[in-house]
Structure 1
Amino acid sequence: MARIDHFNNPNAPKPNSIVVAVTAFVQDEQGRVLLIQRTDNGLWALPGGAQDFGEYISETAMRETREETGVEVEVTGVVGIYTNPSHVMEYSNGEVRQQFSICFRGRYIAGKPRISDESSAVRWTRRDELDGLPIHPSMRLRIDHGFEPFSAPYIG
């Protein structure tokens, strides 16, 4: 399913859903962050996705990371909560979703990066490599916050 991100676009379609979603900011022992290249829009992003019925939200972050990257993680904290109503995602099935995402901080446990149906590429990325990758501004905000040693999560 194709996806178009609208960000601060006054002509964006009006949202018709809000879905609880997560992303996971995970670093390896060298301080690199785990990123995927999404198959739905081609942009680089933190692994993540929507919560399923019957699971805790932290389980969603662990499951989505495993499914999209092949990497096992444990949740260790919260980077932030992202609810910008000026960011909507338009899907090819007619859904227009207002952003609601909790970005968790995760600790690498095991596994080697591999692609999936939702990721055409997976890699550990140094902070100084980020500017060379196509990353949506709202995702870049999460990544930048993840690299910051904040004691309190971002809420916005």
Structure 2
Amino acid sequence: MDEYMKELRELVGSRPVLMCGASVILYNAAGEVLMMHRTDNDSWCFPGGALELGEKVEEAAAREALEETGLTVDQLRLFGVFSGKEMYYKYPNGDEVYNVDVVFASHCYHGEIRVNDEGREIRFFAINELPENISPPVLPVIEDVRKRKEEFYSAAE
């Protein structure tokens, strides 16, 4: 958690806050998506996280992907912006958020996959063979990925 969120939590406690984040759907050549098994809530998600003060969403998405997966994203394409009641989440520590997640997709990245302290495992999954324990705010994104699979996978060619 960055300093801004720590300071905000000191002021508001665990009450709901609006949190803007960015995440990236990374596709491999087989059309599978990269997901991370988180340590904090034992759920799977796409690489991503909260914006830092003054940071652009594209910068946050690329930074989070690098921090969480070891991969440098070379090109981002806007996938969608997700908000609303279905993006509510209560963290295991009791902190509540309503997420606004700016989601990007990419086929263009390089580096070696590695897990940082936020994850237990990172791996690619076929979109119809995802693990069952998906982090709740990621579910609307996955629903959209399944609906728009051809649109974004074909962008790799």
TM over 0.5: yes
User: For 2:71 and 2:42, how far apart are their aligned partners in 1?
Assistant: 20
TM-score normalized with structure 1 length:
0.76
1:141 maps to 2:140: yes
1:57 maps to 2:57: yes
Instruction: Name the one with the larger helix percent.
Output: 2
Deviates more, 1:32-41 or 1:51-60: 51-60
Relative distance call for 1:92 and 1:29 in structure 2 (3 A) is: closer
- The answer as to whether partners of 1:32 and 1:127 remain within 8 angstroms in 2 is yes
1:15 to partner: Cα distance: 4.8
Q: Secondary structure at the match of 1:127?
A: coil
- The answer as to whether partners of 1:62 and 1:72 remain within 8 angstroms in 2 is yes
* Identity fraction in percent: 28
- The answer as to whether partners of 2:18 and 2:100 remain within 8 angstroms in 1 is yes
Give the gaps of 5 or more residues in structure 1: 2-13, 152-156
Residue 27 of structure 1 aligns with which residue? 27
Please list the CA deviations of residues 85-122 of structure 1 after superposition, one character each: whole Å capped at 9, or x if unmatched.
Answer: 24422235553111211111123321122111111110
User: For 2:58 and 2:84, how far apart are their aligned partners in 1?
Assistant: 21
What number of residue pairs does the alignment pair up?
138
Q: CA RMSD in A?
A: 2.4
Residue 89 of structure 2 aligns with which residue? 89
TM-score normalized with structure 2 length:
0.75
Q: Secondary structure at the match of 2:74?
A: strand
- The answer as to whether partners of 2:41 and 2:91 remain within 8 angstroms in 1 is no
- The answer as to whether partners of 1:51 and 1:60 remain within 8 angstroms in 2 is yes
Give the gaps of 5 or more residues in structure 2: 2-13, 153-157
Q: Which runs of 4+ in 1 moved over 6 A?
A: none
Deviates more, 1:46-55 or 1:141-150: 141-150
User: For 1:128 and 1:52, how far apart are their aligned partners in 2?
Assistant: 33
